[in-house]
Amino acid sequence: TQLLEQSPQFLSIQEGENLTVYCNSSSVFSSLQWYRQEPGEGPVLLVTVVTGGEVKKLKRLTFQFGDARKDSSLHITAAQTGDTGLYLCAASGGYQKVTFGTGTKLQVIP
């Protein structure tokens, strides 16, 4: 069973601050995804990383896949209230099943 541990579990920051969320596992993954989920909605895919060491940027969000493809990080620069939500990493080691991480609940305070 693949376990994806995310840290921190909760994060409350002021608007304009920077933050980093981590996703760690003992397993190697062929790819890793980051999702954001807002209250009352399903998760929405933000990015997929495939290559070890890969860095992808999505506006103020920077995603990095670890060199060994076991971990990943999400960095948000100058957080905005619209960034509030539950951030989930997910991985598909097998071809049929996507496993989600434990989640990081982010609250950005105006």
Check residue 28 for interaction with other proteins (CB under 8 A).
Answer: no
Q: What is the total count of residues that contact other proteins (CB under 8 A)? A: 28
Q: Which residues between 43 and 72 bind other proteins (CB under 8 A)?
A: 43-45, 48
Nearer to other proteins, 33 or 70 (CB): 33
Closest CA to 87 of 108, 70, 66: 108
> Can you tell me the distance from the alpha carbon of 89 to that of 92, in angstroms, rounded to the nearest whole number?
11
Q: Which residues between 67 and 106 bind other proteins (CB under 8 A)?
A: 86, 88, 90, 92, 94-103, 105
Nearer to other proteins, 18 or 38 (CB): 38
Nearer to other proteins, 78 or 109 (CB): 109
SS in 3 state form for 23-76?
A: EECCCCCCCEEEEEECCCCCCEEEEEECCCCCEEEECCEEEEECCCCCEEEEEE
Nearer to other proteins, 17 or 41 (CB): 41
Cis preceding-peptide flag for 43 (omega within 30 of 0):
no
Check residue 15 for interaction with other proteins (CB under 8 A).
Answer: no
